[in-house]
Structure 1
Amino acid sequence: MPSNLIESSQHIVLIAHKNPDADSLGSACAFYSYLLRSQKKVTLFCVTSEINPNLAFLPWFDKVTDRFPESADCMISFDCGSFARLGITREIPLINIDHHISNDFYGSENIIDTSAISTTEVVYDYFVANGVKINGKMALSLYAGLVDDSKCFSAPECNAKTFAMAQSLLEQGSDHAMCIEWLYRRRSLASLRIRGLLFKQMKLLADGKLAVCEVSLSLLEETGASAAECKSVLDEVLGMRSVQAAILKVELPKGGTKLSLRTDGTVDASKIMKHFGGGGHVSRAGTFLKQDNYNELVENIMVMITKELV
């Protein structure tokens, strides 16, 4: 059934998480297309002012604003495991749509499916269950999130439902070639520079089972890369024969450190990151550490990972 909050609200804000990926923003864009059919006012919001330009192919990308509207009477968050990921302080009714196993059910209504490979799958199921006609823009938005979170259909979580959804969205107007071009082939010079340096400086611990990549502020400045452009290295590192877990530590320009953890399933990344205020999935998770105590915490995290490696 359609959400009661959606039915009763007049101005709905659709929220993608900080530094959004294709799953979060794609889900929000698909829902934006859907709600435009109603007589309600709709705003696409993300607290990040400079969103990854590789997501510019998504429908309604130019409608995203970092200014939260005062007249809003309902919010819908997409792919956000915790309220903090929204980057806001407003307290109005909230619908929480997500697939993270670490989600803490912070919404007034929670539409959570931890078996879904992406939040766009959760949104797709919502549309199907409520008889919503999916147009080309919605199909492209949903497909982008599916491609991104399934690692271009290479993730072990892919199943028959994943490919059935992909087929359906392609039949309804999505563009596979466009998604692959923008998400995987359009790389900046800065991202290539940081990638090479990270491979060169990478450390292998625990008999080669744990790979560690560190990005300092000076390295970001030297290459011109953003923190988001560093993460793609993790999946490649995890492909090494001996590596069961790969962690990336990035110093952020505004202070603090972002940790991203990828595993082959041997280590529960979500469990470890949640212990330090973050969250995610079994095979990928992350957290933010404040600048004043991150060195000690990083060491603790390394110890926890090492103990669980086979």
Structure 2
Amino acid sequence: MLSLEQINDADHIVISLPSDADDALIASANALYSFILTQHKKVSFYSECEDSKKNLSFLPWMDKLKNSYPSSADMDIKLESSKDVFSFFKSNEIKLNSKMATSLYASLIARTKGFLNNVNGITFALAYELVEAGADVDSCNRYILNYNSLASLRLKAILLKKMVLSDSGETALINLEDSDLKCSGSTLKDAKIVVKDALSLPTVNRVIVKYKNKEIFNEGDLV
């Protein structure tokens, strides 16, 4: 658990992200980075992930995210869940500035897929609080929900054309090949772009993407 007392006692704090950190976790880490700066502490931002996350470039402090671990830190905050960061802000009644609010709002819409998954009244109340605190909603919506690269769009067209339905139309199957990646200029991670569109079909409730006979995505109920 994040501890305000430990942050107050530390001189140099590192916020560490795992190699598989998703957009929600990275965005919430930005909010925490902003808060620690307001406490006049030295803070470093470290990630094992080498993905540049261009869709998150609008967030504050993304240029501070490094792959080299600082040697002088006396506190390491290893973040594993964006919910832990939200709980930290809430339990300590921390007053949000616009940078914190924007980062937390970005994390919220990334985690809920644009308020489509796992939402309730508390979720919308939190969103309202973040907007009132100065969250840049337009940028969050544009870069979290609607950001795509040209390469990913090219791959999307290829994979949708190759998609076949099975299990009476309930499962969408897509086989990804090296030639698909090469001609589109995309990466394996870009293949996930087809999931939402495939799940929008009336009978489909699961999408399976295979690469070299192994499942790289097996997802359902995202929309």
TM-score by length of 2: 0.88
CA distance in 2, matches of 1:63, 1:258: 34
Is the Cα–Cα contact under 8 Å of residues 235 and 262 in structure 1 kept in the other structure?
Answer: no
Query: What is the aligned counterpart of 1:245 among 182, 185, 206?
Result: 206
Residue 56 of structure 2 is matched in structure 1 by: 55
Is the Cα–Cα contact under 8 Å of residues 19 and 52 in structure 1 kept in the other structure?
Answer: no
Q: Is 2:43 the counterpart of 1:42?
A: yes
Residue 235 of structure 1 is matched in structure 2 by: 196
Output one character per residue of 1:75-121: Cα deviation in whole Å (capped at 9) or x when no partner.
Answer: 2233x3xxxxxxxxxxxxxxxxx2xxxxxxxxxxxxxxxxxxxx2x4
Output one character per residue of 1:271-296: Cα deviation in whole Å (capped at 9) or x when no partner.
Answer: xxxxxxxxxxxx79xxxxxxxxxxxx
Query: What is the aligned counterpart of 2:92 among 119, 127, 130?
Result: 130
Kindly state the Cα deviation for residue 66 of structure 1 after the two structures are TM-superposed: 0.8
* Letter in structure 1 aligned against 2:178: L
* Letter in structure 2 aligned against 1:238: L
Kindly state the Cα deviation for residue 135 of structure 1 after the two structures are TM-superposed: 0.5
Residue 169 of structure 1 is matched in structure 2 by: 130
Query: SS in structure 2 opposite 1:231?
Result: helix
Is the Cα–Cα contact under 8 Å of residues 44 and 65 in structure 1 kept in the other structure?
Answer: yes
CA distance in 1, matches of 2:197, 2:182: 23
Is the Cα–Cα contact under 8 Å of residues 209 and 242 in structure 1 kept in the other structure?
Answer: yes
Quick check: which one's helix share is greater? 2
Name the % identity: 33
CA distance in 1, matches of 2:215, 2:34: 32
Query: SS in structure 1 opposite 2:69?
Result: coil
Identify unmatched segments of 5+ residues in structure 2.
none
- Relative to structure 1, the CA distance from residue 67 to residue 204 in structure 2 (aligned partners, 3 Å threshold; closer, same or farther) is same
- Residues matched between the structures, number: 222
CA distance in 2, matches of 1:47, 1:250: 24
Q: Is 2:149 the counterpart of 1:192?
A: no
CA distance in 2, matches of 1:145, 1:207: 36
CA distance in 1, matches of 2:168, 2:215: 25
Kindly state the Cα deviation for residue 250 of structure 1 after the two structures are TM-superposed: 4.7
CA distance in 2, matches of 1:60, 1:204: 43
Q: Is 2:217 the counterpart of 1:260?
A: yes
Kindly state the Cα deviation for residue 183 of structure 1 after the two structures are TM-superposed: 2.1
Kindly state the Cα deviation for residue 207 of structure 1 after the two structures are TM-superposed: 2.5
